[in-house]
Amino acid sequence: MAAKAFDVDEHTAQVIASLRGAFGVKTDASVVRRALGLARMIAENADEDHSVLILRKNNTALKIHLAD
């Protein structure tokens, strides 16, 4: 597998670091892999209008539109 390196801004680096705990992983690469896996699953299960419905912890729904 080819290794790829890419530069991110400080905010993105902080978000990736904060997601390590949420995802239960130790590396930035693991965060990116998990995030891409989630993105793929969401995209594959989006409605015809390119939206998904997220059920929050408090049982309220949040509709997210993937496309502009």
DSSP one-letter string for 3-41: -------HHHHHHHHHHHHHHT-SSHHHHHHHHHHHHHH
What token pair was written down for 4?
Answer: 């790829």
- The model carries a pTM of 0.80
Q: Which of 52, 50, 54, 53 minimizes the C-alpha distance to 67?
A: 50
pLDDT at 2 over 90: no
pLDDT at 45 over 80: yes
